[in-house]
Structures are given as C-alpha cells and as structure tokens.
Chain A
C-alpha cells in the first residue's frame, strides 16, 4: 500500500485557443476533467491533442482562454510552478543520470531532504516493479523499463495531475498491452487524475473513464468509451472510433425520440439520433459491422448484396459485401465454431441488422 495518500486535482479548460502563425492548433476547447479520472484526448495526428496537453503542462501558453487547476487559474504559471508532471512520448529520460537520479530529480529540484528523496525513489521503484534497478544507467534499460522509469519519475513528486503524451507508442504490441494494464493499476492505486493523449482508439476505449475525441483543434465529443462507440456525435467520431458502415438513407418520420429511416433497399428501420438535431431528408446512418448478420436468403435481410473479400482474423471473420446500390458494407462475425465459412465470394446474400443499433449521424460542419 502507499506510504502516503496522493492528492488529485481537477482540470478545467475554458475556451482554450492556440494559434501557431496562421494555424489554429487548438480552437476554443472547453472541457472539465474530473478528480481521479482517467481522461483521454483522442484524435488523429495534428488534431491538437498534444498541443492541448502541452498547454496544461505549461510548455505552451494559450493564445486565449483559461486553464484552471482545482478552480485556480494556472495559465500564466511556468511548467516548474505547476503541480502537474508529464510522461513524454519518447520518455525524455536524462541519459547522464541513473534510474534513481531520474526518479529523484523532481523532488531534488523541490529541495526535499535527501532521506525523503531516497525513500520516495525506493517506493516508486516498487510501484513500477523495478526494485533493485536504482543504480542502473537508463541507457541500459529496455523500452518497457524506460517507460516505467519515466512513469516513476513523473509520479515521484506526487503531482495532482499526470499528463501522458502517447507514452505507449514506442512499445511493441505485447508490451503495449501489458503497459496499458499497468497504467490502469497505477492510476487506481494512486488516485491521481491522468490525462492521456493517444491516436490509438483501441487504447483509448480500453483504458479511459472518459474520452474527448478531437479533430482540427476542436473537441467533437466527450463521453465514456461506450457513449463514444455506440452513440457517436458525428460522422467523424463514428468513422474514427472502430469500424463503421455508413449508409445513405431517407428520414421518414420521428416518434418518441426515434426516427424511422428508409434504407436504399426500401426497408425501413428505426434509428436513434444525437440530441439537439431533427433528422429529415437525406441522412447518414451508422451500423457497426458486429451489429449485422449475413443470411443466405437475400430477401430475408434489410440489405442485399454480393460477397466480396472474406478476411479471416482468428477470433472474427470480416465479410466485405457490395450492396445492390454499389456501396461497401462490412459484416463481422465471431468465429464461434471451427471450420470453413458457409459463405463464399460472389455469393448473393442478405444482411440482417440487429434491433436498435442504427444511429443517424450528422456530417461535420
């Protein structure tokens, strides 16, 4: 157990802007990151997520708006004045210091007594499971170990918020998976607010309490992983998170918060829609590949098409189907039994859609 309790902090961003010359890197972002939360900023490269993180850390000054920590404005403070620490993308470990020297650096700079630093370093080494490696040179460690040292270094001064800038991107897949679990454990154990930046949607879904999806400097949607996946706010979010089928359809009617849409095949199905919009006319409907099933009788499904590529993925098989109107559609089927697929390329099939899974999304402005 921890020797002392960690203190956690909440971050509020109010209309934060960042401009680099003509480029609007962060465009009017308002967010509340709660106490003890594992919060993820997710988006493609160049969406402004790292710039936003760097502004919280203090490496960049906002061009506009305010950043608050526990209700107090910190926008004008220098990085060394903020009780916030960063785990850098390529760790940025000090190569001329030992593992212990790296971990103890923050406390040393805070002027803590030697005994306290030594105790904190020992505790951190235990926390990241690197006991006995304190005297090693950081250049002799493996990537995963360097990652742990970077974490320990950032946690040692007991920041109120830990900022993580794509910390797992340099690791191979297997190590990444185990570090994901490790990060979740550290966050639960310390209770510190984590702000995590990634472009990997799977990583974001599996680790976060809440996710903010960003593109072009704006926050598209904030919500729990399930919210983001099942109720994407717009076409960008639906497209960026997971695999998605987009179908152009006509909104026919709205009743009780659910719309009825007519698919190109003429079949009508119910579809939910984001709050604050009233779908009408031509709309885009999102159906996840796992929410559709193939049926042998073409007439039995809501959609009809011809099987194209069949991609075997071990746990799942993906069927790429070309619909009658020429648009592509992917069906994912879990491989519940061994043996060959009962469908083959060129076959005419029907596609059935599970109840209450279709969702109308708005095209982004």
Chain B
C-alpha cells in the first residue's frame, strides 16, 4: 500500500469513528428512552404474572395466549377471546373515524388559514394552539358537561321543544368519537397548514383555466400536492387515537373500552402484567403496520411534488 493510500485509509477510519462519537448522545437517548422500555415490555409479555401484580421471572406464553384466546375456567376449553376482539375492532374503528373526521374538518380550516394574508396567519395558528394550554382531562370533562343528559345541548333542545326526553350521548361510542376528534384536530390542522401554505396558488389558477371545476381542482391538484401534510396529519391523529385512554374512560363511561383501557386494566385491577405487556406490544405492532400501510399507499405519488 502506498503512503497516499494508507493516509486515505486512516482518514476514512477516523471519519467513521468521529461519526459514531458525534451520534452517541442521540443513540444513547434512543436506547434509554425508546428501545429500552419497549424491550422491557416485550420481555414482560413472555413472563408469568405475580400474585399481586408484577411478574415472576419464569417463561410463560400465557400472556400472548390470553391476548387472542381464552380458556374456560371450568372445563378448560379454548375459545377466541371475543371481548378482546370487540375492543380491538372498536379501537380501530374509532381511531379511523377520528382520523377521517379530523381530515374532513381540518382541511377546510387549514385551507382557510393558508389563504389568509401572511400577517394574520400567525394569529389564526395561535388560536389553533389555545386548546393545548388546558389539560386534556379538563377538556374531556368539559365535553362531558356539554353532551350529558342534563348538559347544554340536551337542555337547550328540550327547552326549544325539539326534544321531549334527552338524547343519550354521554357514555357512548359517539361521545368518545366527538372527544377524540376535538382533542386531535389541532394535530391534523398544523401539518395540513404547513403543506397548504407551500402550495403554489398559480397551480390552482392553472387548474381553473384548464376547465376544472372547484371540486376537480381540489381533488386533482390541491389534494395530491398536499399529500405529505395529509399523511403526516393522519398519522399524528391516528396513532394517539389508537392508544387513547382518558377519553374513552371519561366519555365512554368505562363501558366502551378501547385498547388503552384494556391495558390499564391488566396492569391495575387485573394484576396480569404479562397480558398487559402483550397487549401493549400488539398495539405497537398494529400502529406500525397501519403506518407502513398508509405510507405505502398514500406516500409515493406525493413524493414527486417536492422534486
């Protein structure tokens, strides 16, 4: 090897070492805060439950078994864990409905803000962030106050004579949906706004010029070009909606559980930490699959817009 080649080799090796050193803080943080806890949860899901919570350090597949199947305590027959599937299905349905509702409500709102004069946009964005100032628990109770049987909506409608008896809204899936949409809407609006703000309005004019209707321009020009924002917003809403805990507890009345509540039950009253851990890992997997699926299907054509 010539001296020049040797010097190049040394430089290359130093360069690689420096890169590792420089990224060490970030990697440490990811290990401690991200991967580590997940690993612990994963390990717990393969252990046996302790008598008063906690885990016994012996291998047991029962945690995972109980996620999908249930064994009858009297005759030991194995059947599908119907209650779990109902909860999974409700969780998925509510999270999807929340995402769609947030998108339908958030898109016009983000478009409105993005089409204001630049000076007043920041005021509108500021208004959007105001709900974040209040604790989510308080906001959730506030919604309960509005929709309960003696709440503002029911009493107003009854006083107007439009209703004879109050409509049951609180402690239903509907209540959970309203609450989740309300809480997650800003998470949809902000990335949508970021995309819409970058939209070249001349493309909209070009669309109208080429005989597109208002709906045609929206569907064929505005939506495809703001796809990155739609994806980001949808993920930001869908993921926390999937693991909601407080909202279904307060507004669903604890009867209409979502996965989050189920997991809490296992770590609390259920005293079955391995099952809770297995459910948690299941939730992570569901989120991962959903996000990958979503990016695959919605991501590709929009990518070109930033070329």
8 A Cβ contacts from A71-119 to B: 78-80, 84-86, 88, 90, 92-96, 105-106, 109-110
Question: Please, how many residues of chain B have a CB less than 8 angstroms from a CB on the other chain?
Answer: 22
Q: Tell whether, in the assembled complex, residue A96 and residue B225 are in contact, meaning their CB atoms are under 8 Å apart.
A: yes
B205 near A79 (CB under 8 angstroms)? Answer: yes
Q: Does A139 contact B (CB under 8 A)?
A: yes
User: When the two chains form their complex, are residues A80 and B205 in contact, meaning their CB atoms are under 8 A apart?
Assistant: no
Tell me which of B224, B225, B304 contacts A139 (CB under 8 A). B304
Q: Is A137 an interface residue (CB 8 A)?
A: yes
Can you list, as one digit per residue, whether each of A44-67 has a CB less than 8 Å from chain B (1) or not (0)?
000000000000011100000000
Given A92-B200, A139-B307, answer yes or no on A110-B211 (Cβ-Cβ < 8 Å).
yes
Chain A 208-223 interface 0/1 with B at a Cβ cutoff of 8 Å (1 = within)? 0000000000000000
Q: Report Cα–Cα, A85/B209, bound state, in Å.
A: 6
B227, closest chain A residue (CB): A96
From DSSP, what is the main secondary structure of chain B's interface residues? helix
**CB within 8 Å: A-B pair count:** 70
* Listed residue (B208, B213, B225, B302) with the most chain A CB atoms within 10 angstroms of its CB: B208
Per the bound structure, the CA–CA distance linking A260 and B302 in Å amounts to: 70
Q: How large is the interface on A (under 10, 10 to 19, 20 to 34, 35 or more residues)?
A: 20 to 34
Does A153 make an interface contact (CB < 8 A)? yes
Q: What is the distance, in angstroms, from B230's C-beta to the closest C-beta of chain A?
A: 13
Say how far A354's CB is from chain B's closest CB, in angstroms: 47
In the complex the two chains form, is B304's CB within 8 Å of A96's CB? yes
Is there an interface contact between B304 and A95, defined as CB atoms closer than 8 Å? Answer: yes
A157 at the interface (CB under 8 A from B): yes
B221 and A94 form a contact (CB under 8 A): yes
Let me know if A94 and B208 touch, CB within 8 A: no
Among residues of B, the one whose C-beta sits closest to the C-beta of A57 is B209
Measured between beta carbons, the chain B residues less than 8 angstroms from A106 are 210-211
B136 at the binding interface (Cβ < 8 Å) = no
Q: Is B203 on the interface with A (CB-CB < 8 A)? A: yes
Contact with A along B273-307 (1 / 0, CB 8 A): 00000000000000000000000000001101101
**Bound form: Cα–Cα A153–B207 in Å:** 11
User: A96 and B301 in contact (CB under 8 A), knowing A79-B205, A88-B205, A88-B206?
Assistant: yes
Can you name 8 extra interface pairs (CB under 8 A) apart from A57-B209, A85-B209, A109-B207? Answer: A59-B205, A59-B208, A79-B209, A80-B213, A88-B205, A95-B225, A106-B210, A154-B209
Binding site for B on A (CB under 8 A): 57-59, 78-80, 84-86, 88, 90, 92-96, 105-106, 109-110, 137, 139-140, 153-154, 157
The 6 A-B residue pairs whose C-beta atoms are closest, nearest first, are A106-B210, A139-B307, A109-B211, A92-B202, A79-B208, A92-B206
